[in-house]
A = this chain, B = another copy of it.
Amino acid sequence: MDRRGILFVISGPSGVGKGTIREELLKNVNNLNLSVSATTRSPREGEVDGRDYYYVSKDKFQQMADEQQFLEYAHVYNNMYGTPRPYVVEKLEQGQDVLLEIDIQGAMQIKKTMPDAVYIFIKPPSIDELVSRLCGRGKDTQESIERRLVACQSELLQVVYYDYVVVNDDLNDAVRDVQSIIQAERCRIKYYNLKG
């Protein structure tokens, strides 16, 4: 590939299904490299170190932050999350595309240093639907759900800072939309090599 790599950032409120969309994209889209975040939180059931997150201690996390190794990092619900910079930058320089799935707070931080990335907002069909999904998946406490909903109301307003918005009503439709966005962006004239 002659062009530089493209960073695709998929983001949206908790419970909107962005993790599921990420998994489908990794199965279906060629030449897409997942950026794995570091976190100080404990693995949930079924999560694998190095695939879902890099699970690190608070001391290790702080050391990485001090060494400017994060594209962004943030406190979320008493834990630290961060996007290691070296992997993303290296892939983009090699002309490889990178997929980053991240919460809205993180995406807005990334945008400050990576304005050329493609920002895709995954939106719930409605707030009611989001509540029912968060309750349904059974891995969040009542308190955690309420806290998320308060955050969600203001987070949804951030959609204006994104390039695209995809409503996750039907999962297949949402995945198809994000795949189309990735494919379309790869055809954009700014990546076209005039000598080609």
**Which residues on A are within 8 Å of B, measured CB to CB?**
120-121, 159-160, 162-166, 176-177, 179-181, 183-185, 187-189, 192, 194
Contact = CB atoms under 8 A, between A and B. Distances in A.
Give the 4 A-B residue pairs with the shortest CB-CB distance, closest first.
Answer: A184-B184, A180-B183, A180-B180, A181-B184
Contacts of A159: 189, 192, 194
A71 to B, nearest CB: 22
Contacts of A184: 164, 177, 180-181, 183-185
Contacts of A194: 159-160
A127 B63 CA distance: 56
22 contacts: A121-B189, A159-B189, A159-B192, A159-B194, A160-B189, A162-B189, A163-B188, A163-B189, A164-B184, A164-B187, A165-B187, A165-B189, A165-B192, A177-B183, A177-B184, A180-B181, A180-B183, A180-B187, A181-B184, A181-B187, A183-B184, A184-B184
Contacts of A166: 187
Max chain B CB contacts within 10 Å: which of A176, A179, A183, A194?
A183
B176 A183 contact: yes
Nearest to A121: B189
A176 B186 CA distance: 13
